[in-house]
């Protein structure tokens, strides 16, 4: 079952209606969906928030800096 889960992770998508409602918790600006990396990107805050199992993790401590 573990192999099946890994294969499915690459294909998970986020509901477009949810994406329209979400904003960066730091900058309060719109987010860009990076399907390949499974992240929501805030250009204004220079952060990328991970999406795990289809759930956006909108916590600054979990975000990846885009300035690296």
Closest-CA residue to 54 (of 7, 10, 3): 10
pLDDT band at 64 (very low <50, low <70, confident <90, very high): very high
pLDDT band at 6 (very low <50, low <70, confident <90, very high): very low
Q: Which helix (H) or strand (E) is 9 found in, with range?
A: helix 2-9
Look up the CATH number of domain 2-65: 2.20.25.10
Q: Which residues pair with 32 in a beta bridge?
A: 41
Domain chopping of the chain, boundaries? 2-65
- Write the pLDDT tens digit of every residue in 15-54: 889 889 999 999 999 999 999 999 999 999 999 999 999 8
Closest-CA residue to 38 (of 65, 10, 19, 6): 10
């Amino acid at each position: 079952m573990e192999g099946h889960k890994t294969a499915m992770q690459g294909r998970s998508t986020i509901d477009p209606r949810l994406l329209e409602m979400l904003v960066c918790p730091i900058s309060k600006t719109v987010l860009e969906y990076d399907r390949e990396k499974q992240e929501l990107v805030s250009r204004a805050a220079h952060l990328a928030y991970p999406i795990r199992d289809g759930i956006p993790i909108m916590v600054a401590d979990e975000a990846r800096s885009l300035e690296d």
